[in-house]
Chain A
């Protein structure tokens, strides 16, 4: 059609017009494409309407009316429109081309177009005047027969104009009144409504015109000056002509019988404000209109209600009649349902209204009517729902009247509730999705929250609600319901959720959950059906106002039940139900403080991971258990978060779930990794005495031999034989046992003393494990790992949401699953890596700067390291030294930040000092405790002897534990004089070497040492008791001891000692075992001002460090 339009204005077919109109109504692009053509279209439309045989004239008029704003932009078209209108109106109706309906519609459409275009304000006034004039001419023929409908329509047109331009017709009100009085056809309604509106506008604008005056002629019509002046500020606003207006009102109030219900609504809407302004007696209106309340027409009832709302006082005493009418209307099965619903709504709104007035009386009325609010069996569910609302309203009234009267309120509220519910009681057995269920639970909520509205000023207190009968009834009911009808559990959960989600009634939901915790959990039966209650358990678990103990106990019992019941055909069930239990546990972990759960939950999880038949459940239980133990609250909750958002936690990238397996983000950003060691610290717990800056490397000594010869001290007794043995034939084994029993040593002459020494040594060495064949002796170095939060956050992006920082801990970053790896160039064997599941960053250190200013810090300012434990992870490094030598451990860390980034970095190394190698010698396991001091004392003597230069044991070999390796002793001696007072020497010894002291000799020394009580369980020897034969062997440097001179070769040294012995207080024997199999022996000869240390060892390289060590120990 578009293409054929513009060129020549060809006649357009009706179908084309229909398409065009459809396009306009459809809107959007379909309408848009016509925009440019609108003047042409309008031209075409106007001429088409006047055509004789066009069938769609009405349609076209409506089209122009609806879309006038896009057509009539030029005044010229208004002229054309008016001309066309006149033409149509003046043509006689032939019932075919010019029909009465066409005339009517043309009038209406033109008026509508004029109003839409705001003809008074946007165009020349003559357009409006000529339209009004035309209408008035039509109207001014009262009782004329054939055109009565057209006259009615013209009245309506005038009414619309008067509505938009108030007081447009006020000057001719007198004429209108007389027309109104004269008209007797059915069109009189339109005359009356028109006149009523004119009166209404006169009153509303307080215009001082006479409604009796007919001096202004009806035609020609002139727009009143007041309207042209543009507004209310004109001189005519002097005041109303009350007398005349009351007369007009009296006339109008007599006419309602002729009005249709629709007309009545319009009439009432206009008459009510007039009556108020003129201060008419409300009873006049009441007498005239109250009867309409008995009509079955809903709109008439509503009109009465509106009247009531305006004149509440005049209708006093009739509330119950109105209420009864409304109830009746709701019962009329003939009505459409929506009216029946509306009637109940009005009643409710009406109740709300009146209860704000005379409270007590009106409430009593509602209570009185309560029986008529009972739902009936055939009432549609929608109606039942609203009737239950009304019953809830009654229950509120009863509750509030309870205090004032002797009414047995409790009983009747319960009865009301119970009786009301009968109508939807099928919800108990219908599927949970049934409409009955929805209606019933809706009623529960209405009854429950009662009158407690959501406004902040609501006076009802929590107490009154909690004490209300209905609350108690409902609590019981819900518990019973869950026990009896498990399928309703999800519905109840939704119900609770709705309360929980509401700010005002959150506590109600919580309270219900508490009730369930107290009353439901003890009553549930332990069987497979229990799982249907899990949704509610989940809510209980979520709520941290409820102590979790009861639920945990139940779940534990249930787990036991599942384990017990497990059989071949319950595999899947065990899995599914077990997983659900763990689901609830997880919810608890997320919402409670771990400390609250710890005991019971760990028991439950431990039980599950030990005994549960399903692997996956066991596995998950183990993971939860580990998490519970290792990870503190907030971090744990973040990890467990499956992705759903929780209140108050802003969506942050690091809340990524523990279970969502993310591709690990290994950071390759070197910049990030470079400085890790500056804020992640691994430190020794006990600092080294000697900050070892060097280490003796002996590998260069053995030229052509990569093993230092002292290491060859250990050799396999018979390596070839060993290799043969691999065949494992029996006779060889016999041979071997033989060999172990009687080592094939060259027979040698030795005295009893030496053989005793050898015996002691053999016994000792047989306790030393041979690290080549079995786990060697280990040296433990205790360290702590810690990291600083601030730099960590800066680099790795930590928790930076201050909103969640209620708890200071929440804001600290954490490292997860940290692995520390160690390596060393020193001969320490392979060093096991160390795992730390979780570590929290240290809080910023500003506290150390200004202690007083931060009393809120969680960590007290001067707290010792123990109090900061939570930020430090203990790390134990276990070395299995092949050689007792200091060294440096390289440390590398691999860990995960919260946002899933993997951090791999090198930390500062850990120094290993010689003192780390110090171990107590191993005592044979069969030695009784009380014999220990003696054993060590003997061992010291034996080793001292063996390490002497002229030892007789030099060529002896001693089999190690396991019997495969043997060791030989090649001793070295050294001596050091420490210029230090005895007191400080004793103190240092007690502090650092106490475990290694095997005997204390000399009365003065013994007394001092015994008194301090640090060194215990050693052999004490004073000089007086020096009568035992073997004791003398171990003691040197005491005057009067003849025997020891026999054995000790260094007599000159003894002599020098003797020279100082005047002040000798006594001496310490110290035996230190150096793994893997070496020994370091000190004999500290303590004098007042200096101490001579005799040193013997079977591992000479260690002497290199001992010197420094002793100096650091005693002289620093």
Chain B
């Protein structure tokens, strides 16, 4: 049994913490009970204290356990790290951030008056819904985890036995039930479909690949728009009604006995709707893969799209080097009849800038030196991500320059932008649009003054937006320099007591009035004073965020560049070969968008990290 992936149950809770959907797998449960029985028989002498609870909770029990955990751990996800409020036996006691995703619940069976740990539960939050999946693990792992979260010492030591790490390494079933299932099973099935079909712009049967934009979007500062709102577990996507029938069908087809067979929603959906007819003949000599239940028929062609996202932290400081990274992927759509193999050489790539490649399961990667050889793959239907890579920028940064903001008084700041766009970039590289926004999530913009050398400016309540290049007037084949001096006035600062009361990590500072007044006397500089004052009630960042965005002043650049990739990743359509040979046109396009492209205020604080290169 070890090594397989099965789930005992799945629950979906809504924002009111009541179960709106649940599904139990009696067959898996039967295996669990058998395992418990033998575990309790085999190891009776040492493990009496961690008797394994062998029953699945009813929906109401699960819901109340979830509420209880939420209260104990501060939020649905929990603290993740052991903090002063963490209690023994709870997830954060284990002191590992992954306990925000792999959680334990104490099911309280009223009559027995005993709490029974249910672990591991994979918690996925999507929109307004909490999806909880309980994979089957051997009971000894549950015992091991119980020991971990009830340990009385100061916590895990690196490299010690029985750590959470070795536990997770042993448990593919946890990996198996991470978002792959969850995304497909989650209520926004329609949303997923929409984005899937939309990713290359061709509708029809789509691949199981997730579009690159979706996960990256979650790392964008989510609270730039809403001042002070802490979007801890708050919905990021609008709620959709839960289509229970679709969900039920999907689960029944993808994992009839609780053990998944194929999680491709599109395949399952198509099979359900279309079924098979006698005309759907299997290939005469080959086995048709399970991930390709239908074969394509029609005009043959291939599309490749390189999609890159640029993350940059621009400091314009001597002591901190700028940091630019590219994460890219090659999306593919192969409309080819039969079951052909496609290959193209990897040697043609400018591999100097590519850090690492990873591939779709359909790709055959030679064992050694994957970077130097050809990649061969047997494409599935529809869109799929052929490979992903991390890279550095082969050209210079598309936007260079600095942003300076200086508070001249408590409520007024003077700022200056000086930017170079597309310096050294030649045609066909085209910048379709470029916008710089200065978010002030904790201050309300009252007025603003200043004129940029190029482009237009608008303000919202909590930001100033500067459109340098607007869509329709792409910037191609030349570079431009843009400056923007100005001042911005804010509404008077109000101490945000509300937000500070939600003290995430619980070490409550001694709010001694003496100390505070002292502070104000000692600070000479108005900026430092303001900084101090504002940082006093900064809400703690989520562990999913890279840092506390609200603590910094920065400008975020959004842009889109087409024409070529910035990493140098490219596919020569002529070098793409198909076996058995068919004549199929190969289309290739690139698209570069900005991820977190941040210009830090040169005059303020900025987050940084030590350089990896020694």
Contacts and interface: CB of A to CB of B under 8 A. Distances in A.
A646 to B, nearest CB: 17
Interface string A376-410: 11111111111001001100100000000000000
B335 interface: no
B545 A380 contact: yes
Interface string A433-469: 1111111001001100111111100000000000000
Given A299-B5, A374-B610, A433-B540, A341 B97 contact: yes
Contacts of A431: 500, 509, 535-538, 540
B361 A503 contact: no
B447 interface: no
Nearest to A100: B275
A55 to B, nearest CB: 9
Contact of B100 (A160, A346, A382, A426): A382
B288 A184 contact: yes
Interface string B262-291: 111000000110011111111110111111
Report which residue of B25, B283, B543, B544 has the largest number of chain A beta carbons within 10 angstroms of its beta carbon: B543
Interface string A86-113: 0000000101000011001100100111
B191 interface: no
B19 interface: yes
Contacts of B249: 58, 101
A371 interface: yes
A352 B163 contact: yes
B397 to A, nearest CB: 15
A147 B276 CA distance: 7
A372 B509 CA distance: 36
Interface string B282-321: 1110111111110000000000000001010100000000
A499 interface: yes
Contacts of A494: 84, 507
A420 interface: yes
Contact of A432 (B95, B292, B323, B509): B509
Interface in B236-266: 245, 248-249, 252-253, 256-257, 259-264
Interface in B490-538: 500, 503-510, 512, 514-515, 518, 531, 535-538
A168 interface: no
A371 B544 contact: no
Contacts of A626: none
A430 B538 contact: yes
B283 A576 contact: no
A306 B596 CA distance: 36
Contact of B155 (A183, A382, A445): A445
A396 B538 contact: no
Nearest to B315: A377
B22 interface: yes
B609 A371 contact: no
Contact of A345 (B2, B98, B367): B98
Given A290-B367, A432-B507, A329 B168 contact: no
A577 B358 contact: no
B25 to A, nearest CB: 8
A563 interface: no
A336 B126 CA distance: 12
A31 B176 CA distance: 32
Contacts of A374: 609-612
A349 B164 CA distance: 8
A66 B21 CA distance: 13
Interface stretch (A22-30, A222-230, A681-689): A22-30
B176 A262 contact: yes
B366 interface: yes
Report which residue of B102, B159, B253 has the largest number of chain A beta carbons within 10 angstroms of its beta carbon: B159
Contacts of B219: 333, 378, 380
A352 B166 contact: yes
A298 interface: yes
A132 to B, nearest CB: 16
Interface in A142-186: 143, 145-149, 152-153, 156-157, 160, 163-164, 183-186
A68 B507 contact: no
**Majority SS of interface residues in chain A?**
helix
B169 interface: yes
Contacts of B289: 186, 189, 257-260
B145 to A, nearest CB: 13
A487 B152 CA distance: 28
Contacts of A577: 514
A265 B59 contact: no
Contacts of B540: 431, 433-435, 438
Contact of A145 (B179, B281, B503): B281
B158 A450 contact: yes
A68 to B, nearest CB: 6
Given A116-B27, A431-B537, A436-B548, A299 B175 contact: yes
B83 interface: yes
B549 to A, nearest CB: 11
B512 A338 contact: no
A429 interface: yes
B277 A342 contact: no
Contacts of A346: 165, 168-169
Contact of A532 (B164, B512, B614): B512
A189 B290 contact: yes
Nearest to B167: A349
A637 interface: no
Given A112-B26, A382-B100, A490-B509, A260 B262 contact: yes
Nearest to B292: A186
Interface string B96-139: 11101110000000000000000000000000000000000000
A333 B544 CA distance: 12
B515 A295 contact: no
B30 A393 contact: no
A28 B107 CA distance: 13
A351 B163 CA distance: 12
B97 A190 contact: no
Contacts of B283: 184
A350 B167 CA distance: 11
Contacts of B19: 25-26
B252 A185 contact: no
Interface string B591-612: 0000110000000010111111
B514 A258 contact: no
Contact of A292 (B82, B170, B361): B361
Nearest to A310: B3
A338 B365 contact: no
Given A381-B545, A392-B158, A258 B288 contact: yes
A625 B500 CA distance: 41
Contact of A342 (B5, B27, B175): B175
Interface in A955-973: none
Contact of A490 (B5, B57, B277, B507): B507
Contact of A183 (B287, B363, B366): B287
Contacts of B547: 381, 424, 426, 436
Given A296-B388, A333-B219, A498-B154, A439 B81 contact: yes
A299 B168 CA distance: 12
B605 A429 contact: yes
A104 B358 CA distance: 36
Contact of B608 (A380, A393, A422, A430): A422
A383 B595 CA distance: 18
24 contacts: A27-B60, A116-B26, A149-B276, A186-B288, A188-B288, A257-B289, A291-B365, A292-B361, A299-B175, A333-B309, A333-B595, A334-B216, A334-B327, A377-B313, A381-B545, A385-B81, A418-B610, A423-B607, A433-B504, A433-B505, A433-B540, A435-B543, A528-B515, A576-B514
Instruction: Enumerate the 3 nearest inter-chain pairs by beta-carbon distance, A residue then B residue, closest first.
Output: A27-B58, A382-B97, A349-B169
Given A28-B60, A426-B551, 18 more contacts: A26-B59, A113-B26, A145-B278, A145-B281, A188-B288, A290-B367, A296-B360, A299-B5, A305-B169, A309-B170, A331-B356, A332-B390, A342-B174, A352-B159, A352-B165, A426-B605, A433-B503, A438-B540
